[in-house]
Amino acid sequence: MIKKVKVIKSHHSDVLIPFQAEKGEIVNGKEKPTQWEGWLYCKNKDGIFGWVPKAFVTPVKDSFEEFQFIRAYNSFEISVSKGEFVKIKERESGWAKIENESGKIGWIPLENLEE
């Protein structure tokens, strides 16, 4: 059973177009400084840039900047307010994929949740 946890710090998403990739898709990516470990900055086939968990990709042989997705990914961030209760569906590299009370699913920083 997935338990509900409380949002202890609001999160507002300012991402207008989320990064998406299908399993098997090859993207260009590189390491860039970020406050969270385990992420790559990538560009997908549609020319959209976004942060991708390293755990979701594998390097393409003989390439320094190409990575292939080992599972589908969508970087959609969700806005939440302090005091809300949400369900954690997945944890990855300092972020949580959550579901809010109205059934919307998206990512927020794990540090915004009380566990």
The number of angstroms, rounded, from the C-alpha of 59 to the middle of its chain's C-alpha atoms is 19
- What does residue 113 show for φ and ψ, rounded to 5 degrees? -115, 145
Q: Report CA torsion sign: 33, 15, 72, 84.
A: positive
For residue range 13-70, list pLDDT tens digits in order.
Answer: 888 899 999 999 999 999 999 999 999 999 999 999 999 999 999 999 998 899 999 9
Instruction: Say what the pTM is.
Output: 0.90
Q: What are the structural domains of the chain?
A: 4-14+76-114 (2.30.30.40), 20-74 (2.30.30.40)
